Amino acid sequence: QTSFYGRFRHFLDIIDPRTLFVTESRLKEAVQLLEDYKHGTLPPGVTNKELWGAQKIKQAIIHPDTNETIFMPFRMSGTVEPLRTSLLLQVVGLLLPNQTLASTVFWQWLNQSHNACVNYANRNATKPSPTSKFIQGYLGAVISAVSIAVGLNVLIQRANKFTPATRLLIQRFVPFPAVASANICNVVLMRHAELEEGIDVLDNDGNIVGSSRIAAKHALLETALTRVVLPMPILVLPPIIMSILEKTSLLRSRPRMILPVQSLVCLAAFGLALPLAISLFPQMSEVST
């Protein structure tokens, strides 16, 4: 994971939707195989391919700090599997044109509810975090997302200088600043305790050597930046692409196809956005002693 490309390939494995269908017995076999490798007691005939397959399963399902199974809809692999989560529906809903106040509030609330659960399930768990922090982060994210989305929509509606077509195009980009700012708020509030107490720091052998607030600041900053980049391709590219596609004769003559086409465009953006965003920084970062 020393290069962006290496991390990108690594996280492509972690978000592989096929890991959602791994059974409990198969997970135990993978974990046991890695333990045997660690202690030099591998059964004869085990190949490197089988070891890497076991590693892929463990990293996609088991939390690295708690060694507990992450609830399926909130795994990174669940984030890109539209049949397992409501994320695709959320993005399509966020990007719908001519939204009412009620629909804006609903889609922002639904999106941030899902984000809060994903953030909590994949949090840094080297130190215990009270449930109250999770609730604060959830409420802060929802309030900030709804406030920004509604506020920007009101400002756009009152902007008399814009033509109706321009106003509609600008409104399609409103979800991005709302979601990005809410994601930052979510991360900061949910993990604020780390800034006060620090997080565990390990040596090259994986031994805990102390607790560091400076390391916590690095982790929080990198996570916040990731949460800004993550929705960018999902909420910026589809409006641009759809504004072009909607002018084609195919969609003009078949308006019912707009929603299915937009869903496919959003799905394609998923495949790009998640590994791109979480590959920006290594999973284990280094800090100066």
Tell me how crowded residue 47 is: count the other CB atoms within 10 A of its CB.
Answer: 8
pLDDT 10s digits, 221-269: 998 898 888 888 877 888 888 888 888 988 888 888 888 888 788 778 8
How many CA atoms lie within 13 Å of 27's alpha carbon, on the beta-carbon side?
A: 17
Residue with the bigger pLDDT between 185 and 261: it is 261
Cα 83 to Cα 6: distance, rounded to the nearest angstrom: 28
Q: Are 203 and 209 in contact (CB under 8 A)?
A: yes
pTM (2 decimals)? 0.67
Backbone φ, ψ for residue 43 (5° rounding): -65, 150
Q: What is the pLDDT of residue 36?
A: 93
3-state helix, strand, coil in the chain (%, to 5): 70, 5, 25
210: helix, strand or coil: strand
Domain boundaries, the chain: 4-61, 85-231
Instruction: Work out the burial of residue 287: count CB atoms within 10 Å of its CB; fewer than 13 is exposed, 13-18 middle, 19 or more buried.
Output: exposed
pLDDT 10s digits, 41-97: 998 889 999 998 999 899 888 988 888 888 877 777 665 544 344 556 666 676 666
Dihedral of alpha carbons 21, 26, 31, 36, sign: negative
DSSP state of 62: B
Q: Are 108 and 182 in contact (CB under 8 A)?
A: yes
Least confident span in 111-115, 169-173, 272-276: 169-173
pLDDT 10s digits, 140-180: 777 877 887 778 777 777 776 777 777 777 777 777 887 78
Tell me how crowded residue 138 is: count the other CB atoms within 10 A of its CB.
Answer: 20
- Annotate 190-217 with b (16+ C-beta within 10 A) or e (fewer): bbbbbeeebbbbeeeeeeeeeebeebbe
Backbone φ, ψ for residue 201 (5° rounding): -115, 135
Biggest alpha carbon–alpha carbon distance for the chain: 75
